[in-house]
Homo-oligomer: A and B are copies of this chain.
């Protein structure tokens, strides 16, 4: 049985199911209890599980992420809610120096099974400190797993997998998608890490898109289809681990690829994925792998400017057309 539920509801269900299943799971963050977060994603959980398992914290991000690490080392499975992805900068030390390295530094003796839930995504007119997509930063750090759900279905399945994982996992939700609905089974399910989803099959070009950009890629693919261009759309779903094989296979078939990601383009996710493809599908490529990321500027507040900074379906389609036509802008 499937029904359509919002991404917010999918997250809520994932947490509720895992908290019912395992009493060591608990939740902490700012205004997660009565308020259920500003996005209302966690509404109702405190009623079922009580304030002892759904814990409102002071505005102390480094503090409560550090506490999650210690709790995880001693038998608990904390889920931390970081209200905006932009606050990742505040918790990098606890996340990257402590959580990510503890298992390794202890030679495998100490485990840190914790989940950091946060978000990404611009065009909400929230300006430079509430609009960033910072997943590239954590994907760079060994010891962290990184998941990027692109719909309610993935959000639920990946989060459940994250909560059961014995390692620190950072999961990024697209804050603009919380009210978007998708088909989600009634029955419990998990989505394994490291398995990309081929969302649409195609022959002419591969669109590799993450999180918020999956919708953009799908819309571009629709447009392209109406023009007779057949685009394959792949969502890696996790950056660490990364399902290189599925993507490389696809590009070997299509001979062209565009990577679309809402993080900044420079020194970010698109470069990693593009260079993996360029290396592994080298002899199959008919056209340079194209990268589309958020523009390399702080996110501007003005709607007139902000909308220019994020890849759009039209822009993706335009790049795809050029690639299929074999037109190079400046790679002469």
Contacts and interface: CB of A to CB of B under 8 A. Distances in A.
Interface string A222-245: 000000000000000001101000
A1 interface: no
A187 interface: no
A183 interface: no
A300 interface: yes
A279 B289 contact: yes
Could you say which of A97, A264, A280 has the most chain B C-beta atoms within 10 Å of its C-beta?
A: A97
Interface in A124-144: 127-129, 136-137, 139-143
Contacts of A87: 93
B127 A331 contact: no
Interface residues of A, number: 61
Contact of A279 (B95, B141, B290): B290
Contacts of A298: 100-101, 104-105, 142-143
A96 interface: yes
A331 B284 CA distance: 10
Contacts of A86: 97
A268 B127 CA distance: 26
A194 interface: no
B127 A267 contact: no
B142 A136 contact: no
Contacts of A95: 89
A330 interface: yes
Contacts of A331: 279-283
Given A278-B289, A279-B288, 15 more contacts: A88-B92, A101-B128, A104-B300, A140-B268, A141-B264, A142-B264, A142-B297, A268-B272, A271-B271, A271-B276, A274-B278, A275-B291, A279-B290, A282-B285, A283-B331
Interface of A: 86-90, 92-93, 95-97, 100-101, 104-105, 127-129, 136-137, 139-143, 239-240, 242, 263-264, 266-276, 278-283, 285, 287-291, 296-298, 300-301, 328, 330-332
